[in-house]
Amino acid sequence: MENQSSAAQFFLVGFTISVELQLFLFVIFLAIYLLTLTANVAIICLVRIDTRLHTPMYFLLSQLAFLEIWYTSSIAPKLLMNLAGWKYISLPGCLSQIYFYFSLGSTEFFLLGVMAFDRYLAICNPLRYPSIMNGQVCIQATITCWSVAFISVFFLVLLISHLTFCKPTIINHFFCDIPPLFQLSCKDTFLEEIVVFFFACCIILTSLLLTVVSYVLIVSSIVKIPSTKGRQKAFSTCASHFTVVIILYGTVIFIYVRPSLSYPMDINKIVGVFNTVVTPLLNPIIYCLRNKDVKEAIKKVMNTKLSERNRTSIFTK
């Protein structure tokens, strides 16, 4: 019984590297985190400012950018604290991090599925698209994505909160993740692992199925377009979204959708950093580089700011 504990706090191992290398990673990850916040806030502002972007596609893109800000903020600050030497986290803090990390991640999967369906309607059913994907439908769809994700993950965290942990309560990760917690449990967690695996399959694979079906229908419609230019234009409207889907689903399926949760944590740390820190920065970059409307909106804002600055300098002189 002395080795059992309600785990007042956990020790996050983080990265077992030299102090100098930890300092280097701290600077790198801090720069990435700040760039992520800036890039996603910029996309939200662009969509609000430029009237040409007041469409369902860009409304959903702004929702994705807003989501990415909170998704990376659920992990990155604690990662930076870990690299700086503050490696302890309380049990309520651990459960809260799990809740927001999985809730926001699940919301992103649902949102990507809605975005894929939006592209399907725009390409395969353009005449009815304005009436089907109107503003009210977009708002209802995003509210549903957020609500379903946060409610379903609540019951998952409630299940985990009843576990009893054995000392020493050391988590071999840089944030509170479910598989390391199972390894610390004093009792057999086979049932809990099955529940988590089932949850991951339901969230990830169902949203992936919606995305895959949408893209199969999209591709089948695009290949029927007679002109090469028309096919290229159709492909370009969903290339950015498809790239983001591949990156996100690839990393998350590698970590969570497995029948066994006992696997090398060092590999998961690397993939986890890519998923929680790097990907939220890649998403706005991908959408900006491969989206003509977004690039034109950026140029318009920059030209407006430059004109205002020139006018101000003239009046000052």
- pLDDT digits over 170-191, tens only? 888 899 988 888 888 888 888 8
Domains of the chain: 4-316 (1.20.1070.10)
With a pLDDT cut of 90, the percent of the chain lying above it is 31
Dihedral sign from CA coordinates of 49, 52, 56, 61: negative
As a three-state string, the secondary structure of the chain is CCCEECCCEEEECCCCCCHHHHHHHHHHHHHHHHHHHHHHHHHHHHHHHCHHHCCHHHHHHHHHHHHHHHHHHCCHHHHHHHHHCCCEEEHHHHHHHHHHHHHHHHHHHHHHHHHHHHHHHHHHCCCCHHHHCCHHHHHHHHHHHHHHHHHHHHHHHHHHCCCCEECCCEECCCCCCHHHHHHHECCCCHHHHHHHHHHHHHHHHHHHHHHHHHHHHHHHHHCCCCCHHHHHHHHHHHHHHHHHHHHHHHHHHHHHCCCCCCCCHHHHHHHHHHHHHHHHHHHHHHHHHCCHHHHHHHHHHHHHHHHHHHHHHHHHC
144-154 residue pLDDT tens: 999 999 999 99
Which amino acid, one-letter code, is at 162? H
What is the pLDDT at residue 97?
A: 95
Q: What is the number of other CB atoms lying within 10 angstroms of the CB of residue 260?
A: 8
What is the pLDDT at residue 315?
A: 56
Of residues 173 and 305, more confidence is placed in: 173
Cα separation, 302 vs 143, whole angstroms: 33
What is the pLDDT at residue 18?
A: 87
What is the pLDDT at residue 283?
A: 82
Of residues 44 and 164, more confidence is placed in: 44
Find, among 103, 93, 95, 27, the residue nearest to 67 by Cα: 103
pLDDT band at 71 (very low <50, low <70, confident <90, very high): very high
Indicate the average pLDDT of the chain: 84
pLDDT band at 272 (very low <50, low <70, confident <90, very high): confident
pLDDT band at 25 (very low <50, low <70, confident <90, very high): very high
